Amino acid sequence: MAELLYGAPVATAITEDCAGRAGRLANEGVTPTLAVVRVGERADDLSYERGLMKRAEKAGVSVRRVCLPESCSQTRLMDAVAQINEDASVHGCLVFRPLPALLDEGALAHALAPSKDVDCLTPASLVSVFSGAGEGFAPCTAEAVIRVLTHYGVPLAGANVTVVGRSLVIGRPVAMMLQAKDATVTMCHSKTADLERHCREADVLVLAMGRARAIGADALRAGQVVVDVGINWDEKAGRLVGDLDAQAADAIVAAYTPVPRGVGSVTTAVLMDHVVTAAERALSHVSQR
């Protein structure tokens, strides 16, 4: 039977570290603060927001919510971001995406101050992740994958890793971060020929496809570690499932992250880590003046 790599111990370790650092910042009169910009009332945004509020409390991070109506204009959104940029007491900003169709995400990405971009919205952050240089933060979910693998001591240097999915928020940044850890990375997508073979050949398999239980026995082999980022609603089962067929994986692989209670629970902890880091940097810039 495969080992289950739960997210909770990883999230707890990151949160405790944040709380310690937030305590030290408090001694300097600084409260790490995150602004959360939400346009509309999408159920998954509201659910993520509730989760991050709980996590923030444990991490010693203060959260300011900026809730805009679904009908909000681009100007109003840009004004909200401009205010956040100018407010020195706010260290990080998360904007829920996707935005309603009439709003221009590209313009927003150029408007947010890169130093406050804690979830890799801006081009400057993306350049950092892809070049390995600079101070830009990676997308929280992509970094959560790396944190899970590191926490459970999965060797990455020299390992063959297959990443399935090439989105800018998960697949591509994960692949870059894995290469930075000296893994040999194969990236797969919907046009990949013989996906099963690429999956079987991997020592570590990262799934970010958004296809319920798409990866089953044919794509797995003994000894593998699988990180399942997928979150899919299974109508038949009436519950959330990953991209991995967990039942098949149980009998074959060495270990995998369950869905739910896997990578998803680490994402908000990584977000808090980014906010605390942004606050530490802001303080050190002030003391260097």
| Contact set with ligand NAP (CB under 6 A) | 141, 164-167, 169-171, 188-192, 195, 208-211, 214, 229-232, 263-264, 267
Query: Shortest distance, CB of residue 264 to ligand NAP, whole angstroms?
Result: 4
Which CB, 50 or 189, lies closer to ligand NAP? 189
239-241 and 232-234 strand pairing: antiparallel
Query: Shortest distance, CB of residue 75 to ligand NAP, whole angstroms?
Result: 28
Query: Shortest distance, CB of residue 190 to ligand NAP, whole angstroms?
Result: 3
Which CB, 52 or 229, lies closer to ligand NAP? 229
Which CB, 136 or 264, lies closer to ligand NAP? 264
Query: Shortest distance, CB of residue 15 to ligand NAP, whole angstroms?
Result: 16
Residue closest to 92 by CA, chosen among 271, 267, 266, 270: 271
Which CB, 37 or 209, lies closer to ligand NAP? 209
The single-letter code of the amino acid at 93 is C
Query: Shortest distance, CB of residue 191 to ligand NAP, whole angstroms?
Result: 5
Which CB, 25 or 227, lies closer to ligand NAP? 227
Residue closest to 174 by CA, chosen among 151, 135, 148, 203: 148
DSSP string computed for 85-107: HH-TT--EEEE-SSPPTTS-HHH
Query: Shortest distance, CB of residue 26 to ligand NAP, whole angstroms?
Result: 29
Q: What are phi and psi of 145, to 5 degrees?
A: -60, -45
Query: Shortest distance, CB of residue 54 to ligand NAP, whole angstroms?
Result: 15
Which CB, 25 or 164, lies closer to ligand NAP? 164
**CB of 241 closer than 8 Å to CB of 259:** yes
Sheet containing strand 255-256, edge to edge, reads: 3-4, 255-256, 225-228, 204-207, 160-164, 184-188
Residue 7's Cβ-count burial label (10 Å; 0-12, 13-18, 19+) is: buried
Which CB, 103 or 140, lies closer to ligand NAP? 140
**CB of 133 closer than 8 Å to CB of 160:** no
91/288 Cα distance (integer angstroms):
17
